[in-house]
Structure 1
Amino acid sequence: MSIDQNSEQAKASPSLDRETRTTIDTATAAFYFSRKPRTLNKWAVCGSGPLQPIRVNGRLAWNVAEIRTILAGGSQ
């Protein structure tokens, strides 16, 4: 992700505290984790990340409540 894409994502992504959706797409979850979307895709395939997404119509959806817990230092 380039610097311009990161700044665009930051503008498009609300603070995690203000996120109202129950799940978010990979690019948005990657933004909150400060990782590249490809890293989260690897987590999903290998089962190696701190959480696993659900699949909705072939797309990955990341649980916002679990992301909040992980980023707050808690475990699942």
Structure 2
Amino acid sequence: MHLAHHHSADTRRAVTEPAYPPLALVTSPTVPTEQAAYYLNRRPQTLRGWACAETFPDGLRPVRINGRLGWPVAGIRAVLGVA
């Protein structure tokens, strides 16, 4: 007898999405692309495209740190309208 295992969408999401701290608890000045995308509800590749074409929202200019993008936490908060 074959038993099918079904997982809810919440279970799959918990396995596939990394757990980042709430934005209010982030104390570093910048976060990596994947984390910024999580907070902005966008895919990381979207943020990379913004950085390449310089079409990011006002106040969200990324900085390059050893060849990687760092997204300012203050800018993410500003875009989201969070104090």
Q: TM-score range by the shorter chain?
A: 0.7 to 0.9
Which amino acid is the alignment partner of residue 37 of structure 1? P
Separation in 1, partners of 2:38, 2:24: 14
**Structure 2: any 5+ residue segments left out of the alignment?**
1-11
1:41 equivalent to 2:35? Answer no
- Contact 1:43–1:52 (8 Å) recurs in 2: no
State how many pairs are aligned: 69
1:60 and 2:73 matched: no
Structure-2 residue corresponding to 1:23: 30
TM-score, normalised to structure 1, is 0.81
| TM superposition shift of 1:52 | 1.9
Which amino acid is 1:40 matched to? L
DSSP 3-state at the match of 1:68: helix
Q: Shift of the alpha carbon at 1:73? A: 6.8
Residues 22 and 63, structure 1, Cα contact 8 Å, conserved in 2: yes
Aligned-residue identity in percent: 41
Compute the displacement of 1:36 (Å). 0.4
Unaligned residue ranges in structure 1 (runs of 5+)? none
Q: CA RMSD in A?
A: 1.9
